[in-house]
């Protein structure tokens, strides 16, 4: 008899949600997780809760408040004298938020009677996992079904070896105890722009080196252009077409070499963040020995329902194909648990939203104009600028726009793209609409409270048919 009905390897947003859903469905469930926090204590939540989504958003909010107090609240009649910054207190608050949420996951495990095994899991077969516990003990556990949710780690760059002090990855950039005078960032993607925004708003001079000649080239072109314009206006020095060559750390900073259209360039900064993406965390998993198939980039090969090449072994989240997003991992975890229970679990990958938590925020779901053109799909587009929205004016945040793409014949919404205040919250309405196969006309005829930012979505839907009311 197996030790557990379901054994999950990894306790991040994919793994812990899969474990909770499996337990809700009546399975005897365990989760093996190797994470330790800064104090060396076991902690659930994986990268997202410990050194990713949650701490970065805590710092982004703190930086936003500091920036507004210094530069924006005067228009509201709010005056402040001798504004100071306490980075230690800011970091303490961030750490408290992290501890609250990770301990909350532990409480959910207890509530759902999930066995939390503190250690590293290694796959032996489709029914066996070898566990090396934090206390050094070793054991082999058996399970009816195994779910692999080991997440991802920052991609290393040989020419910029991370030392945790001068050259850092995203984890290091979340833990600065002082604001660097000059911060260099390799990579103009989600991580680079979010963390660059944090430290720039706190007073750092931030230089972003982006290899591509276009910032955020996978976004809708209108949104990407607006993002570059606004972030540059805020003070981010975004250098496109910068082909990184080397980073050399010294006692006083980091010397960076890169090539541009003007030839070889040299840059000196106090600290250098390597933010060139993430890779699947399959090292030490025992995949090859157990017969688990990986692709050339190290991702575990799965079918549309996250089944691996081993019977009754599933893999979810960053360790498989698709976007490396916490909510995508969670949805896959729920799907797999329900499939194991004989239910019809599924994930609609066409309606997975994306968000970049700069200010203004950037959010999107579905197709871009370029992708629809590549596929030969005829479509219509409607846009509406936040400057035409009453709530945006009341807030003092009128920059940005909403763009909706709908199929020409059916009017079914195929993509929604937003850059503006609270875009991360606004995108949920678009996701819901698309989940139900809704049309731009459906959204255009849906009453929205006034004044709200959500009215921008309705106006963009009206614009698809050329009848926006407030422009």
450 is catalytic: yes
Token pair, residue 26, equals 């009546």
Residue 2 binned pLDDT confidence (cut-offs 50, 70, 90): confident
Instruction: Kindly give, in sequence order, each residue whose CB lies less than 8 Å from that of residue 223, ignoring residues fewer than 6 positions away.
Output: 216, 362, 364, 401, 403, 417, 418, 419
What would the mean pLDDT of 120-143 be, rounded to a whole number? 95
Tokens, residue 454: 């959500």
Q: pLDDT, tens digit, for every residue of 377-423?
A: 999 999 999 999 999 999 999 999 999 999 999 999 999 999 999 99
Taking the CA atoms of the chain, what radius of gyration do you get in angstroms? Answer: 24
Over pLDDT 70: what percentage of the chain? 100
Read off the tokens for 293. Answer: 């198939």
pLDDT at residue 151 greater than cutoff 90: yes
pLDDT score at 38: 87
Strand ranges inside 83-236, DSSP E: 115-123, 128-133, 138-148, 152-154, 167-168, 182-186, 205-210
Provide the pLDDT for residue 455. 98
Report pLDDT for 145: 98
Q: Exposed/middle/buried for 308, CB within 10 Å: 0-12, 13-18, 19+?
A: buried
> pLDDT class for 343, splitting at 50, 70, 90?
very high
Q: Which of 1-5, 118-122, 422-426 has the lowest mean pLDDT?
A: 1-5
Segment 295-322 mean pLDDT: 97
Check pLDDT > 80 for residue 241: yes
d(CA 181, CA 179): 6
pTM: 0.97
The CB density around residue 126, as the number of other CB atoms within 10 Å, is: 17
Neighbours of 75 (CB within 10 A): 8
Query: Which 8-state DSSP code applies to residue 380?
Result: E
pLDDT at 1 over 80: no
Among residues 217, 393, 450, 470, which one is catalytic?
A: 450
């Amino acid at each position: 008899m197996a030790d557990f009905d379901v054994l999950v390897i990894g306790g991040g947003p994919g793994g812990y949600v899969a474990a909770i859903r499996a337990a809700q469905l009546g399975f005897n469930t365990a989760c093996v997780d190797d994470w330790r926090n800064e104090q060396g204590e076991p902690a659930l939540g994986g990268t997202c809760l410990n050194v990713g989504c949650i701490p970065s958003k805590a710092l982004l909010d703190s930086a936003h408040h500091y920036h507004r107090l210094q530069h924006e609240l005067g228009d509201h009649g709010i005056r402040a004298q001798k504004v100071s910054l306490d980075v230690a207190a800011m970091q303490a608050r961030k750490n408290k938020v992290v501890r609250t949420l990770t301990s909350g996951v532990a409480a959910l495990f207890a509530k759902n009677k999930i066995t939390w095994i503190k250690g590293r899991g290694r796959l032996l077969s489709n029914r066996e996992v070898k566990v090396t516990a934090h206390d050094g003990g070793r054991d082999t556990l058996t399970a009816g079904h195994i779910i692999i949710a080991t997440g991802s780690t920052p991609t290393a760059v040989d020419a910029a070896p991370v030392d945790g002090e001068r050259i850092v990855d995203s984890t290091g950039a979340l833990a600065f105890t002082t604001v660097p005078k000059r911060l260099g960032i390799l990579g103009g993607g989600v991580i680079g722009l979010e963390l660059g925004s944090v430290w720039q708003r706190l007073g750092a001079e931030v230089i972003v080196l982006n290899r591509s000649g276009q910032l955020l080239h996978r976004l809708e072109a209108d949104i990407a252009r607006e993002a570059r314009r606004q972030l540059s206006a805020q003070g981010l020095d975004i250098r496109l077409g910068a082909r990184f060559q080397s980073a050399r750390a010294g006692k006083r900073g980091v010397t960076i070499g890169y090539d541009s259209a003007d030839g070889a360039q040299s840059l000196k900064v106090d600290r250098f963040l390597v933010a060139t993406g993430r890779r699947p965390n399959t090292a030490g998993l025992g995949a090859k020995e157990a017969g688990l198939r990986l692709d050339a980039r190290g991702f575990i090969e799965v079918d549309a329902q996250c089944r691996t090449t081993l019977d009754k072994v599933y893999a979810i989240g960053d360790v498989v194909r698709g976007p490396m997003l916490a909510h995508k991992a969670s949805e896959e975890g729920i799907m797999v648990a329900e499939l194991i229970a004989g239910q019809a679990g599924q994930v609609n990958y066409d309606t997975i939203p994306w968000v970049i938590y700069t200010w203004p925020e950037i959010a999107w779901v579905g197709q871009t104009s370029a992708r629809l053109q590549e596929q030969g799909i005829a479509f219509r587009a409607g846009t509406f600028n936040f400057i035409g929205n009453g709530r945006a004016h009341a807030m003092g945040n009128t920059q940005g726009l909403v763009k909706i793409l709908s199929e020409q014949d059916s009017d079914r919404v195929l993509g929604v793209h937003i850059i503006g205040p609270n875009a991360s919250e606004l995108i949920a309405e678009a996701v819901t609409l698309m989940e139900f196969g809704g049309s731009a006309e459906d959204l255009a005829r849906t009453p929205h409270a006034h004044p709200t930012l959500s009215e921008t979505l309705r106006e963009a839907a009206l614009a698809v048919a050329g009848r926006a009311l407030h422009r």
